[in-house]
């Protein structure tokens, strides 16, 4: 083989390998849509064992809306409506989840005290392309964390906004832990949560949930840029098939998230 041909072949292999690795580590894999969850589609269809094949990091919920999901370092945790953290089996299913293989490109330390709104401003300054997805992980010391979970539902399922009107809320002072979640671009309205959607898990695995408020003292923040999106819909769910998702649920979602 001529030298020129060898150089071209090597360049092609390097380019191809780099693209393959980027695709592998920067794909958001999502089960169902946020509008389906808002409408009360709570029956899980994909089990956690199958979900693990697509990542090691993420958030979501469980069959019947049975608590908040934190997926960290390849392990699923469930924060139920009693405020306790539980392990889960691979056979449990999810009606909504977002996961990825977490491989951060950006990492930095925060030494001063800040809250949820301050974190959003800090992340906004680091996220240059607001039309991509980003996985966000923050590990550190928190002076205060307020979370929520949701109780498991039985048929006939109420809408999510009705469930969250009576949601249990939990508080913890002086806690070490990790924030897990995503930034999603504005154009995913109806598909996922535009902006930041974050969950929390304490270092001792005794406290967590969907973040409502917090104050942090010191932390390490890591960000993974995601340029691929794969969504799997609930093809066997009669609830999903029968819903009309044409109505804009943005205001409803804003009330649910807060």
- Evaluate whether residue 7 is within a structural domain: no
How many domains would you assign to the chain? 1
pTM summary value: 0.90
Question: What is the average per-residue pLDDT within 105-124?
Answer: 96
- Rounded CA separation 144/172 (Å): 6
- Which pLDDT score is estimated for 12? 37
- Which pLDDT score is estimated for 26? 86
- Rounded CA separation 81/161 (Å): 16
Question: What is the average per-residue pLDDT within 104-117?
Answer: 96
CATH number at residue 48: 3.30.1330.80
- Rounded CA separation 102/134 (Å): 10
Question: What is the average per-residue pLDDT within 165-169?
Answer: 94
- Evaluate whether residue 96 is within a structural domain: yes
Tokens linked to 164: 């969250």
Contact between residue 226 and residue 28 where contact means Cβ atoms under 8 Å apart? yes
- Evaluate whether residue 5 is within a structural domain: no
Res. 1 pLDDT band, cuts 50 70 90: low
- Evaluate whether residue 76 is within a structural domain: yes
Parent domain of 161: 23-257
Taking only the tens place, the pLDDT of each residue in 188-230 is: 999 999 999 999 999 999 999 999 999 999 999 999 999 999 9
- Evaluate whether residue 62 is within a structural domain: yes
Question: What is the average per-residue pLDDT within 166-189?
Answer: 97
- DSSP letters, 94-153, are ESSEEEE----SEEEEE-S-EEHHHHHHHHHHH---TTSEEEEEEEEEEEEEEEE-----
174 in helix, strand or coil? strand
Alpha-carbon torsion angle 231, 237, 241, 247, nearest 10: -60
Residue 184 has pLDDT above 60, yes or no: yes
- Which pLDDT score is estimated for 4? 45
Torsion sign, CA atoms 240, 34, 94, 84: negative
Taking only the tens place, the pLDDT of each residue in 60-79 is: 999 999 999 999 999 999 99
Taking only the tens place, the pLDDT of each residue in 9-34 is: 333 333 344 444 444 458 999 999 99
- Evaluate whether residue 197 is within a structural domain: yes
- Evaluate whether residue 12 is within a structural domain: no
- Evaluate whether residue 117 is within a structural domain: yes
């Amino acid at each position: 083989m001529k030298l020129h041909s060898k150089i071209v072949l090597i360049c092609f292999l390097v380019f191809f390998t780099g693209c393959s690795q980027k695709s592998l580590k920067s794909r958001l894999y999502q089960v169902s849509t946020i509008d389906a969850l808002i409408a009360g589609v709570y029956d899980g269809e994909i089990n956690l064992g199958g979900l693990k094949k697509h990542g090691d990091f993420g958030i979501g919920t469980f069959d019947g809306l049975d608590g908040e999901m934190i997926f960290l370092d390849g392990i699923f945790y469930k924060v139920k409506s009693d405020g306790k953290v539980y392990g889960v089996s691979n056979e449990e299913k999810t009606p909504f989840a977002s996961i990825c293989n977490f491989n951060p490109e950006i990492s930095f330390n925060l030494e001063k005290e800040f809250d949820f709104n301050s974190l959003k401003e800090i992340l906004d300054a680091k996220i240059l392309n607001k039309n991509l997805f980003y996985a966000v992980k923050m590990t550190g010391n928190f002076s205060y964390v307020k979370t929520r979970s949701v109780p498991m539902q039985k048929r006939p399922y109420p809408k999510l906004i009705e469930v969250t009107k009576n949601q249990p809320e939990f508080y913890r002072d002086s806690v070490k832990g990790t924030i897990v979640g995503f930034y999603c671009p504005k154009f995913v309205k109806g598909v996922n949560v535009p902006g930041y959607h974050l969950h929390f898990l304490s270092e001792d695995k005794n406290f967590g949930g969907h973040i409502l408020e917090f104050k942090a003292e010191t932390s390490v923040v890591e960000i993974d840029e995601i340029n691929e999106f794969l969504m799997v819909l609930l093809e066997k769910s009669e609830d999903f098939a029968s819903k009309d998702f044409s109505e804009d649920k943005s205001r409803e979602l804003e009330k649910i998230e807060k």
